Structure 1
Amino acid sequence: MYDVYLLRPGMFISDMSVRSAGYIIAKEFPDAVVCDPYFMTALRKKPDIIMTAWRHSKKAQDPVILSMYRYVCVPINDQNMHWRGAVLDTKTRTIYWYESLEPEVQMVTRKRGQRLGGAASALSENALEELGLLRQWAQARMEGALWSLEDGQSPRQVDGNSCGIFMLMNFWNRCSSKAVEFGQDDIDMWRYKWMAACYIGKMAV
């Protein structure tokens, strides 16, 4: 259960952790699906791929057709330094973008000891590229339908390791009819809730 261990306070969550949490989201919301963390990497290399996602089983992957789900959550790992995410709302054809990092904030990652704030311009360039790829992919899958882009208004983090939890909470709130409040002050509480959810298979909000 190393994936669950990495959800604890002070840790930068891994791809395994995101997969486990994505299973919880997909189980809780039948009209939502969470992509594998490697989807964005694969999309950069081969834009015409079929999206793979984790649903109902941590090990089973299903091809996703956008018309099958209302919400398609896309975790994005930027160079193993930072998590941000996007949610494709197939009903409104809107891509919601979630970024928890303030561009001007200087912080040090536990994993590499690099200044995340110093890479703000590069992250912004990556974000623009990712948004463009996602929109191109979605429009191609839905026969050229136009998609709009919208800032999902993520709460901001002030530490250097909670971006993954912020991303998961943003996914949860977009898929849920009853959004929960969260922020840096209570992010450790949500870490423990995600740990418990991955153990018992259900989120307590």
Structure 2
Amino acid sequence: MKLRGLLRERDVREVVAALKEIQPGLREVGSFLATFQVLGKAVGKAVGKAVGKPLAWRLDTNYVSDNVRYRLPEPTVDRALEQLREKLCGETEEIQLDSDGENVGGADGYVLSIEKIGTYTREQLEDMKWIWNLQRTCRRGLSLCSWLNIEVKSLVEEPVAVGLALNEFLNAWPYKVIPGFGFDIAMADLFCIRGSTWLNDDAMRAFSVFLKSYKNNATVMIPPVKKPSRKNSTQSNVLLQEKQLAEIRAGISTVQYVLVPINLSGVHWGCLVIDGGSKTIQMYDSMNSKKNTKRLKAIALEIVSALPDTYTVLNIEGPLQKDGDSCGVFACLHLWKSVSSDAPTDVSTAGITKLRWMLLYAIWKMKCRW
């Protein structure tokens, strides 16, 4: 299947519909999007000025769209959708616009005019945004594949497994949902495990499914923990909901360890390990920051007060990360070490590359079971 031949001269809406139906592999769709026309690049400075051109939305339910065989520059698309969002929020009925440019209910019939450039439907703008997002996702996926092929293969003892994983990523639709994990996770959610990248929530949750295979632990995920509000400094800042505390109590009554990965303000991973055998709660922050440790301790003390037995809170001071993006990797390592002796111990630069691969490989093997 050759996407360029299949989708040549197609409207942007038809392109998006075809990609969603065909679901081509990462390598093929990435190659196609790299050559899918961006209007400003194709016709030079005059249209390139679309980025700063005045945008005018109007309601015209009778408008018949032209065949748009290109996408506008992403800043123009973003500006247009934001302008429509602001316009609709000022209307009597509040209408939600998806930040990804996906389905926007209640905004039917709106068209955008850009002086000396063209007129576009709201749906065409949304699909342009979807294409920009997909291209960005493909770039992350191809970066993962390059990392596997160049850095990982030469370091690990199982290069054949690396090759198999690499081949699967290259030939899988980036948004393909991976079954069997108990929550929605796509291939693209694993692209962040490559080097020099921050682990996202779904990758952390997926690794916790692997840890569960040791049959001695349960994981409780909590929403990102925000900084305490200064406005409410005189009031008690409750960090955990009763539902989460109930999950922790239920977990510790059936298994020895309850693992709690903690996303601090969306910028840093720490974790707690509740050990029902030793009646301890370990706090671990790979930066050993006083601020992070204070926040982890506040969460740990809330848990202590909710447990039927007396627990002691311990601070684990190492190992420490030496870069700015491996906090999630170190948190996964600590959780792994807590429940099994299988966890690696090398935290050198090469060791962290191997560890990232081990996290990815563990999740990939879990995927292959279903």
TM range (shorter): 0.7 to 0.9
Aligned to 1:36: 221
Taking a change above 3 Å as real, the CA distance of residues 169 and 51 of structure 1, as seen in their structure-2 partners, is: farther
Matches of 1:184 and 1:82 in 2, distance apart?
A: 20
Match of residue 46, structure 1, among 241, 244, 267: 241
1:72 aligns with 2:258: yes
Q: Counterpart in 2 of 1:196?
A: 361
Q: What is the identity, as a one-letter code, of the residue corresponding to 1:80? A: G
2:194 equivalent in structure 1? 8
Task: Report the TM-score, using the length of structure 2 for normalisation.
Answer: 0.42
Render the CA deviation track for 1:12-63: whole Å, top value 9, x for unaligned. Answer: 1111011110000011x1011122243978x72534645448xxxxxxxxx9
Show structure 2 runs of 5+ residues with no match.
1-186, 227-237
Q: 2:299 corresponds to which letter in structure 1?
A: E
- The one-letter code sitting in structure 1 at the alignment partner of 2:357 is Y
Which residue of structure 2 aligns with residue 149 of structure 1? 313
Q: Distance in 2 between matches of 1:32 and 1:45?
A: 20
Structure 1: stretches of 5+ with no match in the other structure = 54-62, 104-120
In angstroms, what is the RMSD of aligned CA positions? 2.5
Structure 1 residues 67-106: Cα deviation after superposition (integer angstroms, max 9, x where no partner): 1010111001100111011100011111111111043xxx
Q: SS state of the match for residue 180, structure 1?
A: coil
TM-score, L = length of structure 1: 0.73
Q: Deviations over 1:110-153 (max 9, x none)?
A: xxxxxxxxxxx54343223122122223x2xx2xx110112234
1:96 aligns to what? Answer: 282
Q: Secondary structure at the match of 1:199?
A: helix
Tell me, in whole angstroms, the C-alpha distance in 2 between the residues paired with 1:15 and 1:49: 17
Select 1:125's aligned residue among 294, 307, 311: 294
Q: Which has the higher helix share?
A: 2
CA distance in 1 between partners of 2:212 and 2:251 (Å): 15
Return the index of the structure with the highest Cα Rg.
2
- Runs of 4+ more than 6 Å apart: none
The alignment-based identity, stated in percent, is 21
**Out of 120, 134, 137, which is 2:303 matched to?**
134
Q: 1:175 to 1:87 in 2, by over 3 A?
A: same
Q: How many residues align?
A: 169
Higher relative contact order (CA 8 A, sep 6+): 1
CA distance in 1, matches of 2:270, 2:284: 6
Give the strand-richer structure, 1 or 2: 1
Q: CA contact under 8 A between 2:219 and 2:260: conserved in structure 1?
A: yes
Q: Does 1:171 align with 2:335?
A: yes
